[in-house]
Copies of this chain bind each other. A is one copy, B any other.
Amino acid sequence: MTLKLYELVGVEETRPFSPFCWRTRMALAHKRLDVTSIPWRFTEKAAISPYKSEKVPVLLDGDHAVADSWAIANYLEDAYPERPSLFGGAGGRAMARMLNWWGDIAVIGGVFPLIAADIHAHLRPEDQDYFRNSREPRFGKSLEQIAANRDVAVEGFRKALDPLRLTLRTQPFVGGEAPNYADYILFGGFQWARAISDFALLKPDDPVYAWRDKLLDAFDGLARKSPGYPV
């Protein structure tokens, strides 16, 4: 039975861009599970309300629905234990919970101001209104004002990646010799930016850049083949 995944898109149905959906996409590929994508847009709350969620990703596995990328990763690990592990054991699962929060704050939170206006540019008009009206109050600024300072703000974002950068000095992936869910957590934020923005988050000589490149190539280039900007 093929799994189904509600994934965030904008004007183009074939350009999934949510950092959380990309975490799940990579996790499904890691588990060697086929999935059918169901494009979903910010204002299509009704489509996922039966699954008691207002956000994507929402995963459908037969009659079972799971919302939230962290819950989905745990569901996949438990429901498909014979397939490659996402966490590499109980310790990894517990520690990944903290890396997930770090990823939400340092990566997704750090990236958002840099690409906020670019996200808006990729949405349908009704979704643009939703996006602007829901995001601008959080910052007390317009999307354009949020992005205006990005040439300076990106320096702070890059600096905040030091724990990841330093880790990559002695091991190729956060998960160790091969990537696991810890990597997909963090990669999701970079793939989100890549899908929607031509702004260069990373310098080419940054070890994080090389790590991102390897994840773009993983699973037969799953992430690289998805529409994005080559930065």
Q: Is A204 interfacial (CB-CB < 8 Å)?
A: no
Question: A residues near B, CB below 8 A?
Answer: 85, 87-99, 101-102, 105-106, 162-164, 166-167, 170-171, 173-176, 180, 182
Bound together, the chains give a CA A95 to CA B174 distance in angstroms of 6
Q: What's the nearest-Cβ distance from chain B to residue A223, in Å?
A: 21
Q: Of the candidates B91, B167, B171, which one forms a contact with A87 in the assembled complex, judged by CB atoms under 8 Å apart?
A: B91
Cross-chain contact of A101 among B87, B106, B166 (Cβ < 8 A)? B166
The residue of chain B having its C-beta at the shortest distance from the C-beta of A90 within the complex is B88
Does the CB pair A94–B174 fall under 8 Å?
A: yes
Looking at the assembled complex, report how far the CB atom of A67 sits from the nearest CB atom of chain B, in whole angstroms.
Answer: 16
Chain B nearest CB from A30 CB (Å) reads: 12
CB distance from A70 to the nearest CB of B (A): 9
The smallest beta-carbon distance between A91 and chain B, in angstroms, is: 2
A50→B223 CA distance, assembly (Å): 50
- A117 → chain B closest CB, angstroms: 26
* Complex interface: chain B residues within 8 A of A170 (CB): 97
Residue of B nearest to A89 (CB): B89
Give the chain B neighbours of A98 by CB distance below 8 A.
99, 163-164, 167, 174, 182
Q: Determine if A163 and B101 form an interchain contact, defined as CB atoms under 8 angstroms apart.
A: yes
Residue of B nearest to A159 (CB): B105
The answer to whether B167 touches A101 (Cβ under 8 A) is yes
With A88-B92, A101-B162 known, 18 other A-B pairs at CB within 8 A are A85-B91, A87-B91, A88-B89, A89-B90, A89-B91, A91-B95, A91-B96, A92-B94, A93-B176, A94-B171, A95-B99, A95-B174, A97-B174, A98-B163, A98-B167, A102-B102, A102-B163, A106-B163
